[in-house]
Amino acid sequence: MREVRKSAKSPRRSRPARRSVAVAEAHLPSDTELHHLAERVLRLSDADETEVHIDFVADALTRFANNTIHQNVAEQTLSVSVRTVFDGRTARATTNKTDDESLCRAVAASAALARSQPRNPDLLPMPGPQSYAKVARYFPATAATTPQDRAVAVARVTELAQQNKQTAAGIFSTGASLTAIANSKGLFASYRQSRAEFSITILERDSSGWAKASAPDRDQIDPHALAQCASEKAAASRRPKEVEPGRWTVILEPAAVLDLVGFLFYDFAGTAVLDQRSCFTNRLGKQVMGENVTIHDDVTHALQSGPPFDGEGLPRQTVLLVDRGVPRHLVYSRATARKMKAKPTGHGLPLPNQDGEAPFNLVFVGGNTSVETMIATTDRGILLTRLWYIREVDPYEKILTGMTRDGSFLVESGKISTGIRNFRFNQNILEMLSNVGQMSPAVRAAGEESFEMVVPAMKVRDFHFTEVTKF
């Protein structure tokens, strides 16, 4: 969600929105309640096989701009999705109601749709009971965060901005979610998680700074420290100078790395390689990145999030995707694994779907060089806070274009010398990952163009800027 970026003529001290109402911790259904709901659905179905997905989300968000809170919203949603199978035909129907009549209609709709489908020769029998890795990512205090709690944090950061004659805009959101899957073969799996996210943009007349963080535990996020970072970036980039485009040594902070490498997401899917949509088609086992680049998909990593099972209820496996610059392995759903004579890895998407599978828990192995050291060892280069408006120019060669934003700096003789006008870039991501000279320890990063991953900051040679923007 992007921030409101309108400057205020007369910034005011932040205060809670008048209509904010304290909301108690969302009641997440217990496993017993989920079992009961799933069994109600299964009893209504006369299909050969039946699968039930239950998703509950409770989200609340406080939005601020012009140094003032101007919106607080909260919502709770529950969905029940039913997939039925009749003689190799399958379809899904979803409802947001749990009364008997609504559940019966959803089952009937799924059955009618399934019977009208052509037989799917790749459809496999539903799996039975499974065992899963234990992950603990639900924090009651985070789920119970009130508008007043968020307002207190926002008041501190907007007061900081006002003291510095700056304008702050951003969001502070908290919530919790639950997902469960059950089927007529006796499988049942559930996962619950809390979440918090804080994003801030600090604005000046001709410059801006930005910072963002997310975590299952609200206590792992420090809004004031993030605001201080954004404020310092906005102040340091005042009166930005224009420097020439071309090939530059670039220091990418973790958010910038995330929003670039996130475009590799689907390329690690077996279906994408099978369909020749992946940049790794005909490149598995070949050196396509630097030897210092190793990537895993690991749902159990301490900085990751998400359920330890996939859309069919299979356990997610830890997969070594890239080993020292060489793509070694892919992730597979059951159907794709059978086609490609591989083992399923527990990364299948809910059926039916055309994409097959995807790795949702990418983890880069980082280095031991701090961003400060990267700057100190750079004679002439550019430091980037974040990127945006990124689009694929060539998905097969993984060439991306986009722009820099909210904190771009010229580095000279080992020091930040000035803020600079933003660039448009045109960059091959595999080439970029072949030119990584230094990396920081990997962290959980939050950006705007991709979901959260565990990535390091990177110092990269020959990053390609094509033109300078007007701001």
Domain assignment of residue 168, yes or no: yes
Where a domain ends, among 173, 200, 232? 232
Residue 230 has pLDDT above 50, yes or no: yes
Give the mean pLDDT of 354-374: 97
Q: Is the pLDDT of residue 23 over 80?
A: no
Kindly state whether residue 11 falls inside one of the protein's structural domains: no
Residues 426 and 285 in one domain: yes
Q: What is the DSSP string of 21-79?
A: ---PPP-PPPHHHHHHHHHHHHHH--SSEEEEEEEEEEEEEEEEETTEEEEEEEEEEEE
User: Letter for the amino acid at 80?
Assistant: V
Domain-embedded: residue 18: no
The string of DSSP codes covering 108-119 is HHHHHHHHTSPP
The string of pLDDT tens digits covering residues 430-451 is 999 999 999 999 999 999 888 8
* Domain carrying residue 445: 240-471
d(CA 383, CA 367) in angstroms, rounded, equals 18
Asked if residue 319 and residue 277 are part of one domain, the reply reads yes
Mean per-residue pLDDT for 251-255? 98
Q: How much of the chain exceeds pLDDT 90, in percent?
A: 92
Burial of 304 (0-12, 13-18, 19+ CB in 10 A): buried
7: pLDDT strictly greater than 90: no
Q: Are 357 and 332 in contact (CB under 8 A)?
A: yes
Are 439 and 340 in a shared domain? Answer: yes
One domain for residues 227 and 257: no
- Number of structural domains in the chain: 2
Q: 392 versus 27: which is more confidently predicted?
A: 392
Residues 154 and 288 in one domain: no
Diameter of the chain measured on Cα atoms? 73
- On whether both 74 and 138 belong to a single domain, the answer is yes
Looking at 232, 253, 275, the residue that finishes a domain is 232
Total residue length of the chain? 471
pLDDT for position 14? 36
pLDDT at residue 380, as a whole number:
98
* Contact indicator for 400, 263 with CB cutoff of 8 Å: yes
Predicted confidence (pLDDT) per residue in 450-464, tens digit: 889 999 999 999 999
Cβ–Cβ < 8 Å for 123, 114 = no
215 and 259 part of one domain: no
pTM of the model: 0.91
Mean pLDDT, the chain, rounded, equals 93
Q: DSSP secondary structure string, 285-343?
A: TS--S-TT--EEE-TTSTT--S-SB-TTSPBPPPEEEEETTEE---B--HHHHHHTT--
Assess whether 251 and 223 both reside in one domain.
no
| Cα–Cα dist 37/27, whole Å | 15
Q: For residue range 52-90, what is the model confidence (pLDDT) as tens digits?
A: 999 999 999 999 999 999 999 999 999 999 999 999 999
How far apart are the C-alpha atoms of 41 and 187, rounded to whole Å?
A: 14
Q: Is the pLDDT of residue 343 over 70?
A: yes
Region 183-204: mean pLDDT is: 98
Classify 192 as helix, strand or coil: strand
> What is the pLDDT at residue 26?
58
Question: Quick one: pLDDT band at residue 29, thresholds 50, 70, 90?
Answer: confident
- Residue 441, CA distances (Å) to 39, 230, 367, 454 in order: 46, 21, 5, 10
Last residue of a domain, one of 232, 248, 276: 232
Name the β-bridge partners of 71.
63
pLDDT at 321 exceeding the cut of 70: yes
Q: Would you state the structure tokens that stand for residue 100, as one six-digit string?
A: 């008997």
Pairing status of strand 246-252 against strand 380-394? parallel
The answer to whether position 447 is within a domain reads: yes
Instruction: Identify the pLDDT of residue 471.
Output: 73
For residues 93 and 183, is the Cβ–Cβ distance under 8 A? no
Based on the fold, state whether residues 47 and 164 are members of the same structural domain. Answer: yes
Asked whether residue 255 is domain-assigned, the answer is yes
Q: Could you tell me the pLDDT band of residue 21, with boundaries at 50, 70 and 90?
A: very low
DSSP string, 414-448: TEEEEEB--EEEEEEHHHHTTSEEEEPPPEEE--S
pLDDT at 8: 33
Q: Clarify whether residues 144 and 188 are in a common domain.
A: yes
The answer as to whether 452 is a domain residue is yes
Does residue 121 sit in the same domain as residue 35? yes
Instruction: Say yes or no: 245 and 164 in one domain.
Output: no
CATH code of the domain covering residue 135? 3.30.2290.10
In a domain, residue 296? The reply is yes
Residue 331 has what pLDDT?
A: 98
Q: What is residue 395's DSSP assignment?
A: T
In a domain, residue 400? The reply is yes
Quick one: average pLDDT of 109-124?
Answer: 97
